[in-house]
Structure formats: structure tokens, C-alpha cells
Structure 1
Amino acid sequence: MKEERYLWTLLKRFEHTVKAFSHLLLIAGNISGYILFQTPQ
């Protein structure tokens, strides 16, 4: 039972990390897209 709870906590933490990482990727994509559009062709 204790081990199961540990795995659940680990899974939740992993999910949180993935969400934060994808959020950072989204921001980075927006910034690079903004820079690309700012540079004159």
C-alpha cells in the first residue's frame, strides 16, 4: 500500500514536470516565432 502511494506521488510529480516543460516549449516557440516575424525578409 505504501509503495503504491509512492508510485502515485511519483506519477503526479512526473505529470507536473511534463506540463511545465510543455508550457516552456510553447513559450519558446512563441518567442522564436515572434523573432522570425520581426526580422525583415
Structure 2
Amino acid sequence: MKEEFYILEVDEEFMIISVTDRGARVVRRGFNSREEALREFPQAA
């Protein structure tokens, strides 16, 4: 199963989501910037 990570911005909050062939889920939320999210999850680039 392939898993891809994406950064999503909603209402000035950034979150990391995981997408697989079985669906999507929020991995972590509460980042203040895209750069902060990338430091924690560089695979979301």
C-alpha cells in the first residue's frame, strides 16, 4: 500500500494528511506555517 503525505491549509492552520488507496486521514494538525509542517514531515514536499 502506497502512502503519500500532503500539506493542507484550512483557516490559516496547516495540517499533514496521509492518502492511501484506502482513504485519507489527518496525521497531525496545528502547524502555523508550511515551513513548520515541512520540518516535521519532509516527505510531504
Query: Between Structure 1 and Structure 2, whose CA radius of gyration is higher?
Result: 1
TM-score, normalised to structure 2, is: 0.18
Relative to its length, the structure with more strand (as a share) is: 2
TM-score, normalised to structure 1, is: 0.19
Relative to its length, the structure with more helix (as a share) is: 1
